[in-house]
């Protein structure tokens, strides 16, 4: 069975601090895909990134970066110089080979205080 664990239920930091959101996954598939979604207070789910199991290169997009390590089954997300607008619930998700069923973690509620 596939499983995604986001151990941090809530994180609160002061603006401009760096913050890392942890994601650990379990799967028996050799090919799989990992995702991060953002759910701001308005409620919608916004796609941030997709990563496949063959590509362990880190990804950087502006203040966002992702660290994928197969050895530890982790796909962590770092926000550099956080801003109040980054406040949201962030979900890590996994899909395996075959059908595109997404399995979500429980989410991490991130609060950036001014």
Partner 1 sequence: DAGVIQSPRHEVTEMGQEVTLRCKPISGHDYLFWYRQTMMRGLELLIYFNNNVPIDDSGMPEDRFSAKMPNASFSTLKIQPSEPRDSAVYFCASSSSGLSTDTQYFGPGTRLTVL
SS3 content of the chain, % helix, strand, coil (to 5): 5, 50, 45
Min separation Cβ 13 and partner 1, Å? 23
Min separation Cβ 68 and partner 1, Å? 15
Of the pair 11, 49, the CB lying nearest partner 1 is at 49
Of the pair 27, 82, the CB lying nearest partner 1 is at 27
CB atoms within 10 A of CB 100: 7
Q: How deeply is 14 buried, as exposed, middle or buried, from its count of CB atoms within 10 A (0-12, 13-18, 19+)?
A: exposed
Min separation Cβ 82 and partner 1, Å? 24
The residues pairing with 68 across neighbouring beta strands, listed in sequence order, are 75
Of the pair 76, 95, the CB lying nearest partner 1 is at 95
Of the pair 19, 105, the CB lying nearest partner 1 is at 105
Q: Vertex 46, ends 44 and 47: CA angle to 5°?
A: 150
Positions that interact with partner 1 (CB under 8 A): 31-33, 35, 37, 42-47, 50, 52, 91, 95-102, 104-107
């Amino acid at each position: 069975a596939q499983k995604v664990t986001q151990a941090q239920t809530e994180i609160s930091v002061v603006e401009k601090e760096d913050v890392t959101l942890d994601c650990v996954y379990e799967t028996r598939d050799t090919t799989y895909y990992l995702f991060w979604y953002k759910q701001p207070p308005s409620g919608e789910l916004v796609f941030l990134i997709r990563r496949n199991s063959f590509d362990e290169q880190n990804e950087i997009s502006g203040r966002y970066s992702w660290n994928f390590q197969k050895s530890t089954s982790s796909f962590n997300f770092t926000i550099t110089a956080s801003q109040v607008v980054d406040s949201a619930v962030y979900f890590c998700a996994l899909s395996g080979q075959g059908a595109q069923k997404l399995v979500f973690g429980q989410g991490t509620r991130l609060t950036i205080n001014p």
